[in-house]
Amino acid sequence: MKLTLVTDAWEPQVNGVVRTLSTTVRLLAERGVRVQVISPDQYWSVPMPSYPEIRLAMTTQRRTAKQIRAFAPDALHIATEGPLGWHARGWAMQQGMAFTTSFHTRFPDYVSARIGGGTQLAWRVLRRFHGAASAVMVATPRLADELACHGISQTRLWSRGVDTAQFRPEIAPHPVYAGLKRPVALHVGRVAVEKNIEAFLAAPWAGDKLVVGDGPALDSLQKKYPAAHFLGALHGNALASAYAGADVLVFPSRTDTFGLVMIEALASGTPVAGYPVPGPLDVVGAQGFGADGRTGRGSGARIGAVADDLGEAMRAALGARRADCVAQGRRYGWDACVDQFLAALVTGDGLPVPYLPAPSLQLVA
């Protein structure tokens, strides 16, 4: 099987969307899927205003279409609503080719946080983009319900996974923890206004606060909160050691569609605190017991806390047992996520793609 993946978010960007897509591509290849990735690094590009790490590809629909035609894919998935996504969507509609999309970012909320104003125009654009897709992949049932309220109803679940070989509690804490006052509250992610990090930094807390990540708000937050510790972006074992050493991972965003860092923290044995909004509710649950998404039923063991008062949620999360957090984090397997992705794909004729099991599930003759 051949799949074309069109995305405006790709390496060297560092975020949950890129990690999800790149991991999915790698695991698809292990199942024998030939994947063509069309991404901004293949073109001349310009930085996105106010978000320079994201590069916007300056190309034409004709060139994008030429790449897709040359590969002749069995299925087309358009992951993002950027220039490349619009080019691929336009060509597919001209050809009468069925395709799927995915919803990774609440752009209406992102735009509102950046420049203010309402969100109606942005939702109108998103309805137009996703409306032609055979299926729109979403990370949680709660997000599917939200999109349905905005007129995007053909959703399919595509959850998220965590690399439990990398993120695990046995890893030695990052050396920075040796000089910090316990309990240590950690934030991991892009340092930008839409992530609401200032709510975390301003919340009352008895111990130290640690921020891992880079972004346009880094300098201003460092100056405003000199008592906090900023490590910049970390990757690989260094990032895993940051998770493993923290007493609580704080996820203050109100606009994310999921929050991959939360399940990475849980797999590392670190409980999660956040607001009672989509993302934390889908992972931690309303009572802090590990939600199943739509119903909010828990896993039976506390893995964190959510509250309208973020400081209250942070303190409550300290009551979680690290072993329970690890058990919950390990429920997010990548093979199951890839199964969901494949199940949502369609061929150019709009038919389901053949099921391709993970290598560990394949029968040996």
Q: Do domains 2-161+333-361 and 175-329 have the same CATH topology?
A: yes
Residue 112 has a pLDDT of 52
When the candidates are 1.10.3720.10, 3.20.20.10, 3.40.630.30, 3.40.50.2000, the CATH number that belongs to 2-161+333-361 is 3.40.50.2000
**Alpha carbons 132 and 92: distance in angstroms, whole number:** 10
DSSP string, 310-351: HHHHHHHHTTS-HHHHHHHHTT--HHHHHHHHHHH-BBTTSP
User: Do 51 and 216 form a contact (C-beta atoms < 8 A)?
Assistant: yes
Indicate the domain borders of the chain.
2-161+333-361, 175-329
CA nearest to 214, candidates 10, 9, 15: 15
Q: Which amino acid is at 295?
A: T
| DSSP H or E run through 242 | helix 236-245
Task: Name the strands in the sheet holding 248-251, side by side, starting at the edge strand that comes first in the sequence.
Answer: 229-232, 209-212, 185-188, 248-251, 272-274, 304-306
Q: Letter for the amino acid at 222?
A: Q
Q: What is the DSSP letter of 299?
A: -
CA gap 255, 252 in Å, rounded: 9
- Tens of pLDDT along the chain (365 residues)? 999 999 999 988 878 899 999 999 999 999 999 999 999 999 988 887 766 777 888 999 999 999 999 999 999 999 999 999 999 999 999 999 999 999 987 766 655 555 555 678 889 999 999 999 999 999 999 999 999 999 999 999 999 999 999 999 999 999 999 999 999 999 999 999 989 999 999 999 999 999 999 999 999 999 999 999 999 999 999 999 999 999 999 999 998 889 999 999 999 999 999 999 999 999 999 999 988 765 666 778 999 999 999 999 999 999 999 999 999 999 999 999 999 999 999 999 999 998 788 776 554 43
| pTM score | 0.89
Using only C-alpha atoms, the chain has a radius of gyration, in whole angstroms, of 20
Domain range 175-329, CATH architecture: 3-Layer(aba) Sandwich (3.40)
Q: How far apart are CA 95 and CA 300, in angstroms?
A: 50
C-alpha 124/C-alpha 240 separation (Å) is 39
